[in-house]
Amino acid sequence: MPAQAGRWGRFSEHQARQLQRQVQAKEERIVELEMENAVLHLRLAQCRGMTGEAGSAAAGLCPRCLEQDPPRRSTPPAAPQLHRGVQKLKQDIKALRASSLAAFRACWEHLQDGLSAVEAAVQGAQLCHQALLAWQSKVGQLERSLQEADARYQLEKQKRRVLHNRLVELKGNIRVHCRIRPLLPFDKEFGDPASQDRVYGPEESQQVVFGDVCPLLTSLIDGYNVCIMAYGQTGCGKSYTMLGPHSKEERIPPWGPHSDLGIMPRAAAELFRLIAENPSRRLQVDLSIVEVYNNNIFDLLAKARGMAASGCRREALTTKDARREVPLLTREPVHSAEDFVALAAGSLRLRAELATLVHARSSRSHLIITATLTRGPAAGGSPADQQAERPPLEGRPASGSRGGASCGRAPAGSPGAQQPKEQVHAKLQLVDLAGSECAGVSGVTGSALRETSFINRSLAALADVLGALSERRGHIPYRNSQLTHFLQDVLGGDAKLLVMLCVSPCRKHVAETLRCLGFGARARQVQRGQASGGSPAPRKPR
């Protein structure tokens, strides 16, 4: 209805301006006719003066003509000429009078028509003004109703956010799910029972597994850090769970409806769907991909650009205010799930792999895909939306602004230009851990044995961190490993962590399976952010 009121108001103003122009034209025509009438009256007065002068002259000449002698009378007199002139002047006067009367009548008719048009325009303008007032009143009522509805919406939106976070915390900020790999032809079944937050049988699909991940993505949009981590023995389906089926030539299935898509491509699609539902948040997504190989962090996005391995090495640092930073880490902006998956696929081809007796393409590094959500500096959204938003995560200036230094990506503008800073909203980390393995089973030697040692030590450091958190120790050993140091943001505080245990059902892997389940049991003991009856406490900088 506000749009109809606007169109009606614009129509009324246009009609009023058109009528005003018509009235102005009529008035100008009236002035022209009055001037012509005045000129004609002046000419009429001149003609009357000339007629009077001619009559006086004729009257003076007649006696003189009578007094003249007969010879003089025989000469052609001037009186007939004067008489003809007088008659002509009279005819001119009549013609002037007739034309003046005709012009006056025409002017009068035009004036009457103009007055009628003005009266009609005034009446129409009054009706339009009354209608405009009525529409303005309706618009005011609708605006008040809209403000009330928006206030109620913001209240319900905040309640939804609080209730969703309370539900997630009731289930546990750290959850452990267990997925059992289907039996292969050479496997023998291992039927000992185990208990976790959620256990997926070998027949359950990727879609069912991802169904338990979706609520965490809602928490991500609400401003919480989220980590989804696949843990388990090598060859138990961690990469399949996280990425889906892949080969050396094609690391991730082509984008489209695919029943075997892993958590990463499904999470990317769900993330951009949630962002598109509420554009007023102005959320943007930056992607970074690293691998932790032999306790060193390597930037795969920088390596994909052809940079030497030595130049792609990064290190997680802790600042004076206890914030974790990774200087020079490459971050690429992505605008769709397709871009997300394509960028990840190009980098994953560079991940360290090795064929072992257990797996033909055993991952020799921990893969960490980080999607950083930032809120842009451009104005957008109502003040109520901005007030209702959860405060963005503070700190992390190196990874929280697009203007920060990154390998192969320079800030826009001149070196001294001040760039508008973007706030970090939340981070999603998808972690495909390298599989724990026994050197005697995998048959590795030499450098591969050294890789196995680093893998097992970093996994042990991760278990130590979870143990320290579960025991609520004063010191958490994050810096014992580059893996735990890099994941510090999602292992502590109010971040949401989902550990997906991938185990084998066969009896020959029972030792590794029990070790994996023990890791999950330790993770389940970590208690953080239990739901309470009140609102969540304000977030503190990490």
* Count of C-beta atoms within a 10 Å radius of residue 352: 15
**DSSP character at residue 309:** G
| Residues 352, 264: Cα–Cα separation, whole Å | 19
| Residues 341, 339: Cα–Cα separation, whole Å | 6
CB 313 within 8 A of CB 296: yes
HSE value, Cβ hemisphere, 13 Å, CA-based, for 273: 9
Place of tokens 């007739």: 98
Binding-site residues, in ranges, read 232-239
H-helix or E-strand spanning residue 458? helix 447-470
**Helix 214-221 and helix 263-277, axial crossing angle in degrees, nearest 10:** 40
CB 496 within 8 A of CB 224: yes
For residue 504, which phi and psi values (nearest 5 degrees)? Answer: -100, 145
* Count of C-beta atoms within a 10 Å radius of residue 358: 20
Residues 6+ positions from 171 with CB-CB distance below 8 Å = 197
Q: What letter represents residue 196's amino acid?
A: Q
Residues 6+ positions from 70 with CB-CB distance below 8 Å = none
Binding-site residues for ATP, in ranges, read 232-239
CB 463 within 8 A of CB 139: no
Residues 6+ positions from 478 with CB-CB distance below 8 Å = 465, 484, 485, 488, 491, 492
Four-CA torsion 437, 442, 447, 452, nearest 10 degrees: 0
For the chain, the maximum distance between any two Cα atoms, rounded to a whole number of angstroms, is: 170
* Count of C-beta atoms within a 10 Å radius of residue 528: 18
The helix/strand/coil state of 317 is strand
| Residues 503, 236: Cα–Cα separation, whole Å | 5
The helix/strand/coil state of 302 is helix
Q: Which of 117, 129, 108, 112 minimizes the C-alpha distance to 22? A: 117
